[in-house]
Amino acid sequence: MPCLYLSTNVNLDGVDINPIFSEATKAISAITGKPESYVMVLLKGSVPISFGASTSEPAAYGELVALGGITKAVKRELIATLGIILQNSKLGIPRTRFFLKVVDVSTPMGSKL
């Protein structure tokens, strides 16, 4: 179940964030090969963030946690695609001010818990 946690310094009051949820869910599903019904997206606004010594420009930090299926190519595609979604959204967060940490929490060597 991929889960994307997004934090931004942008105030979300009055912003329609549904398109961000929808686009991110579809992108994560397509890139990871997991069904959309398994994807979770959390978005938190008005978080104090300093990026490049600036606290006033829009910025975002994200963590995507998934159970398996994360390769270097998948990581690159997730970072690029989610960056474009945030940049083109009403949040207007430049791709250069977005950092995404991608974590695969699958157990070593595919053992079962």
Number of residues in the chain: 113
Active site amino acids: 2
Distance CA 7, CA 59 (A): 9
Distance in angstroms (rounded) separating the CA atoms of residues 17 and 91:
9
| Nearest alpha carbon to residue 4 among 58, 57, 83, 72 | 83
